[in-house]
Amino acid sequence: MERITVQTRPIEGQKPGTSGLRKKTNVFMEPHFLENFVQAIFTGIGGVVGKTLVLGGDGRYFNDHAAQVILRMAAAQGCAKVIIGQNALLSTPAASHMIRIRQTDGGIIMSASHNPGGPKEDFGVKFNTPNGGPAPEDVTDRIFAATKEITSYDIIETTDVDLDRIGDTSLGDMSVEVVDPVADYAALMEELFDFDAIAKLIAGGFRIRFDAMHAITGPYATAILQDRLGAPAGSVVNAVPLPDFGGGHPDPNPIWAKDLMDAMFADDAPDFGAASDGDGDRNMIVGRGAYVTPSDSLAVLAANAHLAPGYAKGLAGVARSMPTSGAVDRVAAARGLDCYETPTGWKFFGNLLDAGRATLCGEESAGTGSDHVREKDGLWAVLLWLNILAVNGKSVQQMLDDHWAEFGRNYYSRHDYEGVDATAAEGLMQAMRDQFATLPGQSFAGKTVASADEFSYDDPVDGSHSANQGIRIGFDGGGRVVFRLSGTGTVGATLRVYLEDVCEDPTAMNRDPQDALADIIAAAEAIAGIRDRTGREAPDVRT
Ligand code: G1P
Ligand code: ZN
């Protein structure tokens, strides 16, 4: 075993995005690419001497090799201990939990979340801080700065650590603890939720279908839903994680989880369907014949979380990302809860959760979570839904109908244009910025603009300022459209158009969102000129 210093040079394009660094896997596999970024993380957090880190990933292609590299670099640089999931697997929420319960100095998660995996697809690496949450911008800025100054990294040359066997081992002077990736997480879920009530619901014939999309939640969902809660074998489908996610796109939305949608809209549909993404932090909830948008899910959970033991004492407050619909705001207003609006990305919820200002948080992009960890959590959302349904005995559709009747409905949809020419996308955004002063008062497709600006955020806990977080156009009557460029894509630009309109007419609560939003969609096109500027006739994905 030899410790060596490898000379390297800064590599372009290592700026962490919305959630760590994501690139094509073959870029990560280029000489020094992974090592440079890992070294930059170590430098950015002040070195790893004497520290304990958590390490795990979603099992995608290159996960196992990257884990060995990270272990060898940590060992070479004086790290005291790495706690790693068996076979280098940990879902993102389980990694967050492990960082917290073991009071470590943070952790490295290997994942590109919902992006496809494989040699031609995506890989990613991110650092989470000791609170278990994604590194905030000051840390990612230091990491990025380090990527631009790197000249060398230290690494041990040796054979691979056996990550197959649970237990303690070592690498040089560093101890390595290989842990069951599921056990601690499952125990946490059992603390938060009434497993007996859910088991009773299931034993009574309530049928569930959980689609793990060949990704990391397979083992977690099997252990919890089938082994502990008694759902029949086969309730969890696509349960074995595969390095390429079976060639699929592990993003739980009606497009990519079409199998689940088909099953839930069939004549013999189960009562409850759900899916999670590549790394287990996203969720999709579907009832029999009833798709729940993530924004509505957040609102329903906020209104009913007290039915689960972990939240019985009520919520301190709620938070949503800016493009997420205002459905949860209505619940907060009705219940007298504080409601925070943050930029896109889970890292912005961390301070609110740490300060005890918010208990539940959510994003329109299928992310929901609470103060139990510092990441969004797919299976947690599924279990909270199941706990609520077990207590009130309603169907998913009934939950939605009752919710809209009580609070009103925010019709909502997101249209994504993927792989757009980056210059064209920037041009589209800039052209709108140039019209901020003149848009208010003008009408488009029958909608009169009430406001036009770009969202920026001042963190109420640490005062940090984040600018350029999405363009907002508000309309008279409460509708709005938000335009953002994705910070997680790996090819060209992805334009996200978030469309929303409010409805308080009790006779109009069950429309198709695309119809209900037709005027807002037309106004968005008229204002932004998406077709002309991108050459796209229609969005690639509508959620
Ligand atoms: C997307 C979602 C965002 C989420 C992030 C990580 O980021 O929109 O809400 O936090 O993935 O899962 P984007 O590609 O829009 O920057
Ligand atoms: Zn994810």
Report residues whose beta carbon is within 6 angstroms of any ligand 1 atom: 18-19, 113, 321, 344-346, 363, 365, 367, 486-488, 496
**Ligand 1 pocket mutation pick from 342, 363, 414 by most atoms within 8 angstroms of CB:** 363
- Tell me the residue length of the chain: 543
d(CA 498, CA 413): 6
d(CA 382, CA 212): 12
Residue whose C-alpha is closest to residue 487's, from 343, 312, 361: 343
Compute CA distances 465 → 150, 469, 501, 519, whole Å.
28, 11, 29, 34
d(CA 372, CA 377): 9
Alpha-helix residue ranges (DSSP H) falling in 339-486: 350-354, 378-392, 396-407, 422-433
- Beta bridge mates, 179: 85
In sequence order, the 6+-apart residues with CB closer than 8 A to the CB of 290 are 264, 395, 396, 397, 400
Ligand 1 midpoint to CA 65 (Å): 26
Closest ligand (CA of 470): 1
d(CA 394, CA 392): 6
- Two tokens, residue 388: 């609520």
Catalytic residue (one of 19, 96, 111, 113)? 113
Instruction: Confirm whether 113 is a catalytic residue.
Output: yes
* 3: amino acid identity, one letter: R
Rg (CA), the chain: 23
- Side-chain-side CA neighbours of 85 within 13 Å: the count stands at 31
Full pLDDT tens readout for the chain, 543 residues: 899 999 999 999 999 987 799 999 999 999 999 999 999 999 999 999 999 999 999 999 999 999 999 999 999 999 999 999 999 999 999 999 999 999 999 999 999 999 999 999 999 999 999 999 999 889 999 999 999 999 999 999 999 999 999 999 999 999 999 999 999 999 999 999 999 999 999 999 999 999 999 999 999 999 999 999 999 999 999 999 999 999 999 999 998 999 999 999 999 999 999 999 999 999 999 999 999 999 999 999 999 999 999 999 999 999 999 999 999 999 999 999 999 999 999 989 999 999 999 999 999 999 999 999 999 999 999 999 999 999 999 999 999 999 999 999 999 999 999 999 999 999 999 999 999 999 999 999 999 999 999 999 999 999 999 999 999 999 999 999 999 999 877 778 999 999 999 998 889 899 999 999 999 999 999 999 999 999 999 999 898
Q: Are the C-beta atoms of 304 and 189 separated by less than 8 Å? A: no
Provide the strand spans (E) within 270-363: 272-276, 283-287, 290-292, 317-321, 338-342, 360-363
- Two tokens, residue 168: 């303690």
Helix axes 33-44, 63-76, angle to 10 degrees: 50
**Ligand 1 pocket mutation pick from 365, 368, 484, 540 by most atoms within 8 angstroms of CB:** 365
Residue whose C-alpha is closest to residue 274's, from 391, 113, 385, 189: 385
